[in-house]
Structures are given as C-alpha cells and as structure tokens.
C-alpha cells in the first residue's frame, strides 16, 4: 500500500497516517483472537463445535453464547430458525414456494465466518 502511493506525496502522507493508526488496533484484535482461541480450547463443547467445517475458535463461542441453553430447543432444526436460517415460505391459494432465508435472529452469529483454520 505504501509503495503504490509514493508518487503522490499528499496521498502518501494521508495513507501513512491511516496505516499507523491501524497498527495498534490490529495488535489488539490479535490479542482478542488469542484470548478467544484459549477460551475455545478449554471448553469441551467449543472443541466439539470446531470440528465442524466452517466453525472456528470465534464462531464456536459466539454460537454457544447465543444459544445459551440448548435444551430450550426441542428439535435441532429449531436452532436454525432461531438464527434466521430457514427459508421464507410464500403461500397463497395455489402458489407455494420457498424464498430466501428469513434473516431473523442473531445477525452476528449468522454472518460470522472462519478467517483462518483453527490451530487445535
């Protein structure tokens, strides 16, 4: 990034200031990720969740904190509905089709993605 702005001094100065401000924020994010990984390693349920494809040390604890007590869901498919992962249903007389997911529920858990493979 720094080399692509070198030809324009004003842009280079502004970009350098933004990059310097970003460095401590990224360092704190790395500390938080390390903390989350250690929390996920200590929790048995998180360790089991991380074995699923696409679930990492950030997604596992977020999922667990949102679900809280899994016994409140009589069926496993109700957890998907809780997070808005069930398709919308459109019905009217003869018309009956499923649309996109409803996107109701906890948006954070629904949109989390694993950034890098877990080191478990």
In a domain, 14, yes or no: no
Say which residue, 119 or 109, is predicted with more confidence: 109
In a domain, 63, yes or no: yes
In a domain, 13, yes or no: no
Residue 26 to residue 30: CA distance in whole angstroms: 6
Instruction: Give the number of domains in the chain.
Output: 1
Which structural domain, as residue segments, surrounds residue 44?
Answer: 24-111
Q: Give bridge partners of residue 96 from the DSSP assignment.
A: 91
pLDDT tens digits, 7-57: 777 888 888 889 999 999 999 999 988 888 888 889 998 888 888 887 888
Q: Give bridge partners of residue 89 from the DSSP assignment.
A: 98
Which whole-number Å values give the CA distances from 42 to 36, 89, 117, 120, in the listed order? 10, 41, 18, 11
In a domain, 81, yes or no: yes
pLDDT tens digits, 55-91: 888 888 888 888 888 888 898 888 887 877 777 777 7
Q: Which of 81, 80, 99, 101 is nearest to 89 (CA)?
A: 99
What pLDDT was estimated at residue 117? 47
Residue 61 to residue 18: CA distance in whole angstroms: 32
In a domain, 31, yes or no: yes
In a domain, 89, yes or no: yes
What is residue 6's DSSP assignment? T
pLDDT tens digits, 90-109: 777 777 767 676 667 777 77
Cβ(68)–Cβ(93) below 8 Å? no
In a domain, 30, yes or no: yes
């Amino acid at each position: 990034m720094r080399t692509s702005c070198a030809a324009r001094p004003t842009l280079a100065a502004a970009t350098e200031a933004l990059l310097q401000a970003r460095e401590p924020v990224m360092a704190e994010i790395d500390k938080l990720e390390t903390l989350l990984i250690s929390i996920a390693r200590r929790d048995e349920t998180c360790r089991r969740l991380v074995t699923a494809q696409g679930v990492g040390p950030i997604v596992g604890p977020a999922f667990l904190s949102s679900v809280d007590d899994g016994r409140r869901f009589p069926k496993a498919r109700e957890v998907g509905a809780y997070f808005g992962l069930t398709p919308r249903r459109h019905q009217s007389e003869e018309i009956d089709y499923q649309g996109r997911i409803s996107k109701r529920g906890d948006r954070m858990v629904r949109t989390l993605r694993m950034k890098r493979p877990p080191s478990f």
